[in-house]
Amino acid sequence: MESEVSVWYLIANAGVLVQLVMLLLALASIISWALIFQRIKVFRQAKQSQYEFEERFWSGMDLGQLYREVSAEPTPFSGMESVFRAGFKEFSRLRQQSRDPDAVMEGAQRAMRVAFSREQERLETHLPFLATVGSTSPYVGLFGTVWGIMNSFRGLAQVQQATLATVAPGISEALIATAMGLFAAIPAVIAYNRFSAMADALLKNYETFAEEFSSILHRRVHSSDASGV
């Protein structure tokens, strides 16, 4: 009797549409967890790389030397380093081609904005999927539950005497779809909120660094012609 009312028994004997809903939710949950672990790794490396680059940048090292080092061995997932490389490269190129300080600074800042946008896109990759799973999974599961309950009551119409034993299995198998929807949605929502906050914090640090680096370049480009890059 215990095997007849087990969860696996109810899933196996559910309607085809309800089983498809459960399969869809199971796949969404598996993909969500895979993306969650992948995003955890990305954000952890991005944060660690940020700390390491900040220490090197503010250590007093010559910017030209720092640029050559980070260009020779780029650090993966280091958004701040990418902003620095883009800005300094464009600054050096324009400094050799133009003597207009405003044009040089505008080009360097534009290059940093492009690098910033790329890092923003990289940090926010897969977050829309987690948001979609978190917002739609409960409704998908509810659809499977409603459909299963409809089939259960349709079957009762063909029974002379309806009892709890006849209606309970159908309702139970239908409610599994709702449970699976919540199981897929809750981790996705938590992960999306957490990763969004982490991405905003990192991007804010990148933006602050870009402004500070722009100030350094601004002082350098307006210095005497004898001072080189």
Res 88: pLDDT = 94
Res 222: pLDDT = 74
Question: What secondary structure, in 3-state letters, does 63-97 show?
Answer: HHHHHHHHHHCCCCCCHHHHHHHHHHHHHHHHHHH
Res 221: pLDDT = 81
Place of tokens 């490269």: 89
Q: Whole-angstrom Cα distance, residue 157 to residue 78?
A: 64
Res 168: pLDDT = 65
pTM of the predicted protein model: 0.81
Place of tokens 């946008």: 117
Mean pLDDT, consecutive 10-residue stretches, the chain (229 aa), reads 56 75 92 96 94 91 90 89 94 86 91 95 94 94 84 68 61 82 95 96 95 91 56
Q: Whole-angstrom Cα distance, residue 88 to residue 67?
A: 7
Q: Whole-angstrom Cα distance, residue 38 to residue 41?
A: 5
Q: Whole-angstrom Cα distance, residue 79 to residue 108?
A: 16
User: Do the beta carbons of residue 74 and residue 200 sit within 8 Å?
Assistant: no
Structure tokens at 106: 């505008």
Res 5: pLDDT = 55
Res 102: pLDDT = 87
Res 229: pLDDT = 45
